[in-house]
Structure 1
Amino acid sequence: MSKEQKPSPNGQAPNGQGPNAQAPNGQAPNGQAPNGQAPAGQVQDAAKTVKATERPTTGRGFGPPGGIPGDKSMNFLPSAKRLLARLRPHRLQVSGVVLLAICSVGLSVLGPKILGRATDIIFAGAIGKHLPSGLTKAQVIEQTRASGNGRLADLLQGIDLVPGVGIDFDALRNILLLVLALYVGAFFLSWAQGYILNGVVQRTILSLREDVEAKLNRLPLSYFDGAPRGELLSRVTNDIDNISTSLQQTLSQLLTSLLTVIGVITLMFVISPVLALIALVTIPITMILTATIAKRSQVRFIAQWRHTGALNGQIEEAFTGHELVKVFGRQKEIEADFAKKNDELFQAAFGAQFISGLIMPVMMFVGNLNYVVIAVLGGLRVASGTMSLGDVQAFIQYSRQFTQPLTQVASMANLLQSGVASAERVFEVLDAEEQIPDDATPEKVTDSRGRVEFEHVSFSYDPDKPLITDLSLVAEPGQTVAIVGPTGAGKTTLVNLIMRFYELNSGKITLDGVDITELTRHDLRSRIGMVLQDTWLFGGTIRDNLLYGNLKATEEDMLAAAKATYVDRFVHSLPDGYDTVIDEEGSNVSAGEKQLLTIARAFLADPQLLILDEATSSVDTRTEVLVQRAMAALRSDRTSFVIAHRLSTIRDADLILVMENGAIVEQGNHNELLALDAAYARLYNAQFSGAVVDIDEEAAAMAAPVATPAGRPMAR
């Protein structure tokens, strides 16, 4: 797996980012969480997380809004065929499973027929013992018929007996030993079949998980923007586990049941074609009943897993933002939302299990009716001498064996349908539209200087709502380019386009004269270091998190980066120093310390281009001064893009771009822009003279309000 395809340790795919590009908690680089989770400092209402982002989230997702699949799904048979087609690489093992199943079922099916012979021996011995010895069977039958007992004579006619001789225990022992050997052999063959099949199923699921993981790394960032994280995790974990369970429990059962039905029907016709035809009447009845019930339950199983994904998404969102939930006192609303989704899941699951559960008792009822008919007709045929008692016993056993596999198949119908419904949801992920693949013959940057140029770039998340139109700018090698502007102006979008997280609508972006679309994503992103406002750390030691930026760095390099970014100062206060284990949420280090760690990680990567998105927002004022010095050293001799809301942090930038509504309205250095006394000056004065500026005057000086996603105006 290439570096750009490496999943982030918290289970979120970093969308093809290299080790230098950090994806905080699986969030989009602009700080927007795919599940709509609002980071700290933003407003979360009762039922939803409303975020004042710089752009809408309009990813492809799973179809309907919120990433929940629609009611309309693939048909059962196409999905089942596609799922079974994944067994194709294991054709040899599957063939072995089929062969072992045939042998195992064959031995099991022969058992009742041979055991019927044992019954005949016992019955013949019990009757023959009470008949007068010295006579032949024909003579005894003739005398019985002459005495007017024709029904008894017919019965004796169908029994292989010797008058005056009791049970042949030697023959009985040999038959019982033979039956025992058959059943023991069938057991071991069945065990071998299950062992091989288990390996096939688990390797198939292993391959499926690998395909899903690889697929996630090929999906564009817009897909994750439109997919709640809990819903996606449910598909990748719960649904795949459910497929594994369904395949494991149904494949062997279906194969064995099918072969059993074939073998049993064959021997039933050998014993009595008439009774066999009567028994076969149950087949169309069971098929009609099973199809009717299965059709009704399939829809409910799909709804069950859809509601499961929705509930997982709600729980994940609520638990991730539990601090904000408590701050705004929204526990009751969250609980109400949970109760509603939980009840929807209960209703769907109850309906699915109840309706599919009807199959088993219905099949047992049909089987019992079949058993009664065969027992009555078989007894009459024994009495008439046309069948032996052993054959009737064997036929009754076969009738039970005949209905049993049908009942087992019916009882597995709910599990099978549940597995196929999960497969449909996983296939939706596998069928999602992928990002544009890298060029088969990519270009290489030969003169690596760090010059970035935007040439008439246009981009929008929504085709009906243009964001960036005909933007052109040049960042010379070694320059620090600061990007400022109100929320929604397109600042983060600009750096996302440099990272090629999104594809342009028109125009092009070049790196040292090479169009970034002609470079591989790995080559491009390996030249870029990114420090985001929303920090991302994975479960592991501090050393592991620092080395994530450069896996080839030495211990000395790591320590130098830590000292340069003032990480070394607080690490020594921790119990285990650089070997201190931090959890995935980084709860045992402060927000400022986490941000210093991410800066040190970028420092260690030594990138050609550096992107800083409010990288000091979580540190205190004193630490910020120190970090600014470190970042000044980090930016030395490399092109840097700095997104900042606190304008004091970018006063020494070589070039400051002021953006509004996706366009650059001003550019220049700090002093030049202040002298213009326009947009930048208004932003600057709003921050540093706000205490003495009348609120109405300040509001009038600001640009027009920006509409939030909910349609409410928000001051810039």
Structure 2
Amino acid sequence: MKKQQTTSKLATLTFLFQAQGPQVFVILFGTLIQVLLTVYLPILIGQAIDGVLGGASSKFWGVLGQMLLVIAINSLVQWWLPLRVNQVVYRSMNQLRQAVYEKLHDLPLSYLDRQSTGDLVARFSSDCEQLTSGLLMIFNQFFQGILLILLTVFTMARLDFLMMIVVVALTPLSLFVARFIARKSYQYYRQQTEARGHQARMLEESISQLSLLQAFNAQSRFEADFATINQTYATFSIKAIFASSTINPMTRFINALIYALLAGLGALRIMAGHFTVGELTTFLNYASQYTKPFNDISSVLSELQSALACAERLVGIVKEPSELEQSQLELNDEEVKGQIDFKEVAFSYKPNQELIKDLNLTIPAGAKVAIVGPTGAGKSTLINLLMRFYEVDKGDIHLDGQSIRQYRREELRRQVGMVLQDTWIKAGSIHENIAYAYPNATRELVIEAAQAANADFFIRQLPQGYDTYLTDGGAELSQGQRQLLAIARVFVKLPKILILDEATSSIDTRTEILVQEAFAKLMQGRTSFIIAHRLFTIQSADLILVMVDGKVVEKGSHKELMQAEGVYYRMQASQEAS
């Protein structure tokens, strides 16, 4: 288990810097130069002390000149190295953010359905910042500390092998303490990042649905749930910070004992004639240099564990399998007719919970098809399968006699216009929102689309008209106005297949009549799917499909279904009675 965790961490770090290989090598080489100069300086200090005590003033001034040169070069390297480190780390993080963002657009909806928006946002914001801080510490302290330890041990062995053995023998005690505490802090930091994701998710839910919470007087329940999550986050944070904060003082205490022991042992060896004062000064400098990296590394370890926990969450998204695109066929706009065939289609969102089974259905080209049924009957699922948001488990769906899996998703979706019940408005001008799918659309085309959707009237009443800038999901507009903008998008470039999912549910009756008239013109000669709960809006449909539990239990025109006095008849009677 521990080996797998170590392998996973190394793989994560390798992934982060795979595109920065040469730059990382330059940084490591610069770090090596800095460490060599740092190790060489105590030797010169010892020589200077022995020169003064021995009365060799000429030797002292020569060594002093070398010291000044080493200090100057070391200062230059210490100025240059962090600049390179910052460039590499921030460039790598920029690439990682871009990779995660692009990956989210390549992932299947089945993955995104299992994630919360708040948690994904937390990965982009707080996890990225935490990872950046950890990576800077790896380069600025961790690698330098490791090299300093190795070179210091080698140099101490050349000065006095016995005292080097004493230092090396006692140091593992400090490492053992640091490693034990770091393991505990890693688990706490991992739990902390997960709790932070849950906290962000709940915060996003409560803010976006604040009016709904107030309408149902659910504030106290949400506040209690948030208090629980907040307390969990605080608990893991306190444990993680406490565990990490004990590493440094514990290792410093142990290292101080080692330093005192070495000073006493060195004094005895001077009296025995095995050491000079300058050599002891050099050795004690090395002992201090040798133990200092352990203090730095021990403090870095806790931050490193937190950074790696964040890195795993980010890299985990990038390594998720993408939505495969093996199809290469393109669709010619002029040749698309719009006949759709469902052939023995079976589908389930969860294993062993089949929703649609053996569905066979033919939709003639240009037909106006309405889909009705109770909630959860599978109405929207049919649309999801047609759009290839999800892939069928069995069977196939054909467009004009050709399997839709033979076409690239981009080509297939380019032929379809969708208006959903839940509207989405991006931060931007009204013009940009209407021309969202076709950013090169002219102002004249956008105005024509808005007029067709009966949105032009209210747009012109806004302060800047079509240049009015919308923020916060279009909060400046009413729900009905936002829906009219969503409808206008469809009119910018007329599709060959039209999907309306309760497209007029949030607009007033008078405007709905006008929009329905516009839709009626738009639907002429186009295959249209209408998902509706208000049955009076679909009575003119060429074909009405009644779905229950993933099955089409009835199909026909409004007149035929009313004469059959089945499920549709009872639904119609129920709505008329209410």
Q: Could you state the TM-score of these two structures normalised by the residue count of structure 2?
A: 0.95
1:77 maps to 2:6 = yes
Deviation, 1:372, is: 0.4
- Given that 1:79 and 1:420 are in contact with CA atoms closer than 8 Å, whether structure 2 keeps it comes out as no
Q: Which structure shows the higher helix fraction?
A: 2
2:351 to 463, 469, 476: 463
Residue among 238, 249, 254 paired with 1:366: 254
- Structure 1 counterpart of 2:36, one-letter code: G
Partners of 2:27 and 2:114 lie apart in 1 by 43
3-state SS of the aligned residue for 1:471? strand
Q: Indicate the residue corresponding to 1:140 in structure 2.
A: none
8 A contact 2:342–2:362 mirrored in 1: yes
| 1:289-304 aligned within 5 A | 289-304=177-192
1:648 aligns with 2:578: no
2:147 is equivalent to residue 267 of structure 1: no
Partner of 1:89: 19
Confirm or deny: 8 A CA contact 1:79 1:423 kept in the other structure. Answer: no
Corresponding residue to 2:35 among 79, 97, 105: 105
Q: 2:98 aligns with which of 210, 228, 239?
A: 210
- Dislocated runs of 4+, deviation >6 Å: none
The answer as to whether partners of 2:175 and 2:294 remain within 8 angstroms in 1 is no
The within-5 A match list for 1:313-712 is 313-435=201-323, 437-442=324-329, 444=331, 447-690=335-578
Please report how far the alpha carbon of residue 101 of structure 1 lies from its aligned counterpart in structure 2 after TM superposition: 1.2
Q: Does the 8 A contact of 1:73 with 1:424 survive in 2?
A: no
Equivalent residues in 2 for 1:20-99, closer than 5 Å: 75-86=4-15, 87-99=17-29
Describe the shift of the 1:347–1:524 C-alpha distance in structure 2 as closer, same or farther (beyond 3 A).
same
Instruction: Name the CA distance, whole Å, in 1 between partners of 2:157 and 2:393.
Output: 72
| 1:444 Cα deviation from its structure 2 partner | 4.5
Is the CA contact (8 Å cut-off) linking 1:76 and 1:420 kept in structure 2? no
User: Please, what is the CA RMSD of the aligned residues?
Assistant: 2.0
Are positions 1:237 and 2:142 aligned together?
no
Question: SS of the counterpart of 2:250?
Answer: helix
> Which residue number corresponds to residue 85 of structure 2?
197
- For residues 186-233 of structure 1, what are the alpha-carbon distances to aligned partners after superposition, in whole Å with 9 as ceiling and x for unaligned? 121133222222222223223322332232222221112221111222
> What is the SS of the residue equivalent to 1:281?
helix
Aligned equivalents of 2:370, 2:86: Cα separation in 1: 58
Gaps of 5+ in 2: none
Rate the CA distance shift 1:75–1:330 in 2: closer, same or farther, 3 A. Answer: farther
2:44 aligned partner: 114
Q: Partner letter of residue 471 of structure 2?
A: D
Q: Between 523-532 and 178-187, report the one with greater CA deviation.
A: 178-187
Is 640-649 or 213-222 further displaced after alignment? 213-222
- 8 Å contact from structure 1 (residues 447, 512) kept in 2: no
8 Å contact from structure 1 (residues 458, 506) kept in 2: yes
- Determine the C-alpha separation between the residues in 1 that align with 2:162 and 2:360: 88
CA distance in structure 2 between the partners assigned to 1:515 and 1:443 by the alignment = 12
Q: Percentage identity across aligned positions?
A: 36
Distance 2:382 2:25 in 1: 56
What residue ranges of structure 1 are gaps of 5+ in the alignment? Answer: 1-71, 125-159, 163-167, 691-716
Higher relative contact order (CA 8 A, sep 6+): 1
User: Could you tell me which residue of structure 2 aligns to residue 288 of structure 1?
Assistant: 176
Report if aligned partners of 1:459, 1:466 keep a CA contact under 8 Å in 2: yes
SS in 1 for 2:571: helix
- Give the superposition deviation at 1:360: 0.9
CA distance in 2, matches of 1:88, 1:229: 29
Give the drift of 1:73. 10
Post-superposition CA distance 1:621-663 (Å, at most 9, x none) = 1111111112112222211100011112112211111112212
Supply the distance in 2 between the matched residues of 1:171 and 1:339 (Cα, whole angstroms).
71
Q: Is contact 1:443-1:514 (8 Å) kept? A: no
Larger radius of gyration: 1
Give 1:79's aligned amino acid. S
What is the CA-CA distance between 1:569 and the residue it aligns to? Answer: 0.5
TM-score (normalizing by structure 1)? 0.77
Decide whether aligned partners of structure 1 residues 190 and 637 sit closer, same or farther in structure 2, where only a CA change above 3 A counts. same
Which residue in the other structure is 1:47 paired with?
Answer: none
Letter of the aligned partner of 1:628 in structure 2? Q
Q: Does 1:248 align with 2:148?
A: no
Greater CA drift, 612-621 or 268-277:
268-277
Deviations 1:506-555 (A, max 9, x none): 22111111111111111111111100000001111101101113223222
Q: CA deviation at 1:171?
A: 5.0
